Amino acid sequence: MSRHTKLAIFIAPFLLLLGYIASDYYLEQQAQELRIFELVPQGDCDVINKQCVLSSGDFKVNISDLNGMTEVNSTFPLDDATLFLVEGEKATSYRLGMSESPYYWRNKTPLRAKLAERGSSQKMRLIASIKGGKYISEFYATTTH
């Protein structure tokens, strides 16, 4: 066996390990890049009666309100979530705080008072963040019952 072959056999495992580490860093960096996805309501959105589901592929978000506490429940753990109540051109933001786990986010909002009567409607926006990806939606919540 020549000395070049011996050297190649000796260096190959190190090159393999360095290539594996470099590809892991590259894939992680790509995952952190900003991407924007649209969340689309599945049917009518009734937040008061817990029938408001927004989806984008396999990712789903359920928005509900119980006694003035608005909750967002997602199928994947979120890094951050912000809910906006829109009145004309003015949007009031409510930054949601993590509740039991990264799947549940909530904050006190006046949403229940605005949607108390049957047939009331409220324009809303939601921005949810997951590892550099932003999931956004603008929709109307209407009380049906």
Q: Mind listing the pLDDT tens digit for each residue in 90-119?
A: 989 999 998 888 999 999 988 888 877 888
What is the mean predicted confidence (pLDDT) over 12-18?
92
**Is 29 in the same domain as 18?**
yes
Residue 142 pLDDT:
85
- Of 76, 133, 138, which Cα lies nearest the Cα of 102? 76
Average pLDDT, the chain: 88
Q: pTM here?
A: 0.74
51-73 tens-digit pLDDT: 899 999 899 999 998 888 899 99
**Is 58 in the same domain as 122?**
yes
**Is 66 in the same domain as 85?**
yes
Q: Are 101 and 84 in contact (CB under 8 A)?
A: no
**Is 66 in the same domain as 17?**
no
**Is 65 in the same domain as 86?**
yes
**Is 129 in the same domain as 90?**
yes
What is the mean predicted confidence (pLDDT) over 133-140?
90
Looking at the 3D structure of the chain, how many domains does it have? 2
**Is 16 in the same domain as 71?**
no
The total of other beta-carbon atoms located within 10 Å of residue 50's CB is 14
Give the domain range for residue 113.
Answer: 35-142
**Rg of the chain taking only CA atoms, in angstroms:** 23
**Is 19 in the same domain as 73?**
no
**Is 82 in the same domain as 71?**
yes
